[in-house]
C-alpha cells in the first residue's frame, strides 16, 4: 500500500484500501483518508464502516469520506459517501487496522543504551528499544520488536514476528513462539507459589526449576503473571488470548484458542481445554480439569472438574440454566421471607384460637 506521511498523519487512498481488502469502489477512487472513526462520528478525511444494521441510519448522514459495507447490503436511501464493498466488513476492518498498525510500528535496529550479552543470537530485521537487557544465550527470531525497558533472562527463546512491549520481564529458560504479542509490565516465568509447611509452622520455599512455554499466535495483556512450573513447563497453547491482570499459576496448561478475561486466576496444575471462554474475575482452584469448549460466566468460582461443552455460572459454579432459575428465587428472598413471617403469624394465631376453643 502506497503511503504518504504528512504532518504526522498516515494517508491512504481509497484505491489502495480497496486493493488491500479486495473491495469494490462506489464513488471517488482518488479520495484520501487519514483517520478512522465510528460511522456516527465520521468527518471528512475519515474512514468508517457499517457492520451492525442498527447503525444504518448513520450511513445516509455520515460525513465520513469513505464507508466500508458488505457486498450484499442494499441501501434503502441514496448514499452520497464513497463506499467500498467487501465480503465481510468486520474481517476487512480488522485487516485494515492490522496493516495500519504494522506501518506505524515499523522500527528496526538497536537503540542505546541497551545491554546485549555476546552469546545472544539476534536474527535479521529486529528492533530492540533503549534500556533493554538481553541475557546469556537468548535467541530472538526475525522481525521481532522488543520495546524499551524489557528484561530477558538467560536461555530465553523468542520466535519470529513477536512484539514484546515496554516493561515486560521474561525469566530464564522460557520459550515464546512465533507471532506473539506480550503487553506492558507482564511477567513470564516468575516462581510458582510453592512452599512446604514445617513443624514450627513456618514455610520452606520449594525451588521452581521449570519454565513457561508460550506457543504461536498468543496475545497476553498488561500486568498478567504466568508462573514457571515447579518441574516441567507451564503451557500456554497456540492461539490463546489472555486479558490484562490475569494470574496463571505453576504447571497450569491453557488449551488452544482459549480466551480468558481480566482479573481471573487459575491455581497450580489445573488443565484448561481447547476453545474455552472464561469471563472476568473467575477463580479456578488447583489440580482441576476443564474440558474443551467450556464457557464460564464472569465472577464464577470453580472448585470441581467440568465436562466438555458445559456452560456454568456462580460461586461455586454450576449449570447456567440452573443458576438462572436459582437466581430468580434468590433475588425474591426478601419478599418470600416477608410472606413466610406473615404465614407464621397466621399459623400461630390459628393455633391459639384452636387451643382456646378446646378449653
Report the CATH number that the domain containing residue 250 is assigned in CATH. Answer: 2.160.10.10
pLDDT tens column, 226-264: 999 999 999 999 999 999 999 999 999 999 999 999 999
Q: What is the pLDDT of residue 28?
A: 92
Same domain, 348 and 271: no
Give bridge partners of residue 175 from the DSSP assignment: 157, 213
Same domain, 282 and 338: no
352 has pLDDT over 90: no
303 has pLDDT over 90: yes
Task: List, edge to edge, every strand of the sheet that includes 211-214.
Answer: 121-122, 139-140, 157-158, 175-176, 211-214, 233-236, 253-254, 271-272, 289-290
Same domain, 147 and 237: yes
What mean pLDDT do residues 100-116 have?
86
Same domain, 128 and 210: yes
Same domain, 60 and 157: no
CA distances (Å), 14 to each of 18, 63, 245, in order?
Answer: 6, 16, 39
Same domain, 35 and 117: no
Q: How confident is the model at residue 4 (pLDDT cuts 50, 70, 90)?
A: very low
Task: Give the C-alpha separation, 225 to 250, whole Å.
Answer: 10
Q: Based on the residue annotation, tell me whether 287 is a catalytic residue of this protein.
A: no
Q: What is the pLDDT of residue 7?
A: 34
Which of 74, 89, 104 is a domain's end point?
A: 104
What CATH number should be reported for the domain holding residue 100?
3.40.1390.10
Domain that holds residue 214: 109-321
Same domain, 254 and 116: yes
Q: How confident is the model at residue 104 (pLDDT cuts 50, 70, 90)?
A: confident
Which of 48, 69, 104 is a domain's end point?
A: 104
Same domain, 177 and 201: yes
Q: What is the pLDDT of residue 181?
A: 97
- Give, rounded to a whole angstrom, the gap between the first and last alpha carbons of the chain: 101
Q: What is the pLDDT of residue 8?
A: 38
Percentages helix, strand, coil for the chain (3-state, rounded to 5) are 20, 30, 50
Out of 145, 183, 250, 274, the active site residue is 250
Q: Give the count of domains, the chain.
A: 3
CB distance 17 to 96 below 8 Å: yes
Q: What is the pLDDT of residue 351?
A: 84
Q: What is the pLDDT of residue 9?
A: 52
The residue that leads in pLDDT, 233 or 42, is 233
pLDDT tens column, 150-183: 999 999 999 999 999 999 999 999 999 999 999 9
Same domain, 174 and 313: yes
Same domain, 182 and 89: no
Which residue in 84, 56, 55, 54 sits closest to 70, CA to CA? Answer: 84
Q: What is the pLDDT of residue 359?
A: 67
- pTM score above 0.85: no
Which of 80, 104, 128 is a domain's end point?
A: 104
Same domain, 269 and 335: no
Q: Which three cell numbers stand for residue 316?
A: 461455586
Same domain, 59 and 202: no
Q: Quote the distance between the C-alpha of residue 80 and its chain's center.
A: 38
Q: What is the bridge-based pairing of β-strands 195-197 and 203-205?
A: antiparallel
What mean pLDDT do residues 137-142 have?
98
Amino acid at each position: 500500500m502506497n503511503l504518504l506521511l504528512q504532518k504526522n498523519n498516515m494517508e491512504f487512498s481509497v484505491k489502495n484500501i480497496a486493493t488491500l481488502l479486495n473491495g469494490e469502489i462506489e464513488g471517488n477512487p482518488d479520495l484520501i483518508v487519514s483517520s478512522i472513526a465510528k460511522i456516527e462520528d465520521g468527518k471528512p478525511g475519515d474512514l468508517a464502516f457499517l457492520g451492525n444494521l442498527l447503525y444504518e441510519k448513520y450511513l445516509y448522514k455520515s460525513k465520513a469520506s469513505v464507508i466500508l459495507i458488505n457486498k450484499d447490503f442494499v441501501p434503502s436511501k441514496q448514499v452520497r459517501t464513497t463506499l467500498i464493498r467487501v465480503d465481510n466488513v468486520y474481517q476487512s476492518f480488522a485487516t485494515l487496522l492490522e496493516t495500519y498498525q504494522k506501518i506505524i510500528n515499523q522500527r528496526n535496529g538497536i537503540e542505546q543504551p541497551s545491554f546485549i550479552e555476546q552469546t545472544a543470537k539476534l536474527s535479521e530485521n529486529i528492533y530492540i528499544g533503549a534500556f533493554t537487557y538481553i541475557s546469556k544465550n537468548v535467541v530472538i527470531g526475525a522481525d521481532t520488536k522488543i520495546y524499551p525497558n524489557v528484561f530477558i533472562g538467560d536461555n530465553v527463546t523468542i520466535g519470529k514476528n513477536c512484539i514484546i512491549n515496554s516493561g515486560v520481564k521474561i525469566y530464564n529458560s522460557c520459550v515464546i513462539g512465533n507471532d506473539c504479542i506480550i503487553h506492558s509490565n507482564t511477567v513470564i516465568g516468575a516462581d510458582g507459589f510453592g512452599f512446604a509447611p514445617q513443624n514450627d509452622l513456618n514455610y520452606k520455599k520449594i525451588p521452581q526449576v521449570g519454565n513457561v512455554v508460550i506457543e504461536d499466535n498468543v496475545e497476553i495483556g498488561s500486568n498478567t503473571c504466568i508462573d514457571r512450573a515447579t518441574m516441567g513447563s507451564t503451557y500456554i497453547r497456540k492461539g490463546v488470548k489472555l486479558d490484562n491482570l490475569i494470574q496463571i499459576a505453576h504447571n497450569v496448561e491453557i488449551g488452544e484458542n482459549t480466551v480468558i478475561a481480566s482479573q481471573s486466576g487459575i491455581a497450580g496444575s489445573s488443565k484448561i481445554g481447547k476453545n474455552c471462554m472464561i469471563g472476568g474475575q473467575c477463580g479456578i482452584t488447583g489440580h482441576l480439569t476443564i474440558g474443551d469448549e467450556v464457557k464460564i460466566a464472569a465472577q464464577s468460582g470453580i472448585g470441581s472438574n467440568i465436562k466438555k461443552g458445559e456452560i456454568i455460572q456462580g460461586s461455586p459454579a454450576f449449570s447456567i440454566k440452573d443458576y438462572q432459575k436459582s437466581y430468580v428465587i434468590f433475588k425474591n428472598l426478601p419478599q418470600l421471607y416477608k410472606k413466610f413471617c406473615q404465614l407464621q403469624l397466621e399459623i400461630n394465631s390459628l393455633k391459639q384460637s384452636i387451643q382456646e376453643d378446646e378449653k
